[in-house]
Structure 1
Amino acid sequence: MPYVNIRITPGATQAQKEELIAGTTELLAKVLNKNPASTFVVIDEVEREHWGVGGQSLAARDKA
């Protein structure tokens, strides 16, 4: 029973999220022979203020 957590910043459309879910499920079935019916894919949207890289939040980098 695979569980995949995808974290992205806001902005993806519902259609893009559906494609991520379907594609991730398909990849696990193809590569690891996992049952799609028991594969869980969760997408978390993390605000840019809460996501940091290089010592700064993405929001702060956007402003620079």
Structure 2
Amino acid sequence: MPYVNIKITDQATAEKKAELIAGVTNLLRDVLGKNPATTVVVIEELSTDNWGIGGESTTARRKREAKS
């Protein structure tokens, strides 16, 4: 039973989440021959304060980039 955990910082619509779930499920079926009925996909939405890149939070990084 494949288990896929997708972590994103931006709010995604229900439609976009459904597209991600279907796409990942289909990819595992097509590439690895996994059964879609037993494939689990979890989407976690994280605050940009809880995600860091290059030593700074994504919130700070986006604020800095918006000023540029």
Under a length normalisation based on structure 1, what TM-score does the superposition of the two structures give? Answer: 0.95
Larger Rg: 2
Structure 1 segments unaligned to the other structure (5+ residues)? none
CA RMSD between the two structures: 0.7
* Structure 1 outlier segments of 4+, above 2 Å: none
Deviation at 1:10?
A: 2.8
How many pairs were matched up? 64
- Which residue matches 1:54? 54
Structure 2 segments unaligned to the other structure (5+ residues)? none
Question: 1: CA distance between counterparts of 2:26 and 2:7?
Answer: 19
Identity over aligned pairs, percent: 59
